Amino acid sequence: MTKQKFNIQQEITDQIIAAIEAGCAPWRNPWTGGAAGAGLPQRHNGEPYRGINVLVLWSVAASNGYTSARWMTFKQAKELGGAVRKGEKSSQVVYYKTTEIEDEANEGETKTVPLAKSYRVFNADQIDCLPEEFYNKPNPARCLGTERDPELDVFFAATGADIQHSDQPRAFYNIGGDFIHMPKVNTFHDTAGYYATLAHELTHWTGAEKRLDRFKRHSDRKAYAFEELVALS
């Protein structure tokens, strides 16, 4: 059997799409509460991640509800006195460096080429017994006094969508239950953010089988990413 070559780009793409599928795109969070307090992803020593790793780890943290900003390898966790809990799944990150290789076009000479490598890390929330500084309590939802817009409420009600609210700080469309879940409007930073988020989820709602039937035709992950782009447009 031929061993399939590991594709770093595909692995990273899959992790981001998995977060989108979970209804937690971390680049849009106009409400208070939840894991948003995790902040910018950091290595075990507090050094911030850069580039695509920021987006990847943000996405993973959002989809799993992690509140700590710290990430580390299994070995680093052990060295810090921590223990990765059994069954926890690691996340893929990449780092880039340059290496010298033989220049086939110029015999006897070498050339510098970029090289991407990957390794796997765990969030501190997946690890027990780390020093207290590695953990971060989630931000509670705060009532900011944001009010509804009666005219926009009439518009969204007219669509017939089942729009549900709870204290859970997540916005998503539930395909199986055919309903939209929204955080309470008073936890949003402003009225515009609430209705923009609701409009986004309503766009997903239009893709149900009894409406525009997009999900059956777009069942794989690449197609799901396209669906997310539809809702963002």
Q: Per the structure block, which two tokens stand in for 214?
A: 């997009």
Residue type, 125: D
Q: Which residues contact 143 (CB under 8 A, 6 or more apart)?
A: 186, 187
Q: What is the pLDDT of residues 102-152, one digit of tens each?
A: 877 777 788 787 777 889 999 999 999 999 999 987 678 899 999 999 999
Of 76-80, 136-140, 166-170, 211-215, give the range with the top mean pLDDT. 76-80
- Distance from the Cα of residue 129 to its chain's centroid: 26
Q: What is the pLDDT of residues 173-229, one digit of tens each?
A: 888 899 999 999 999 999 999 999 999 999 999 988 898 887 766 555 555 555 555
102 or 87, which is more confident: 87
Give yes or no for residue 59 having a pLDDT over 60: yes
User: Which domains does the chain carry?
Assistant: 1-138 (no CATH), 141-233 (1.10.10)
Taking residues 37-63, what's their average pLDDT?
Answer: 84
Residue 126 and residue 172 in contact, taking contact as beta carbons nearer than 8 Å? no
Q: What is the pLDDT of residue 36?
A: 47
Could you give the dihedral angle defined by the CA atoms of residues 83, 86, 87 and 91, in that order, rounded to the nearest 10 degrees? 10
Q: What is the pLDDT of residue 170?
A: 82
Least confident of 3-17, 60-74, 78-92: 3-17
Q: Per the structure block, which two tokens stand in for 68?
A: 């700590």
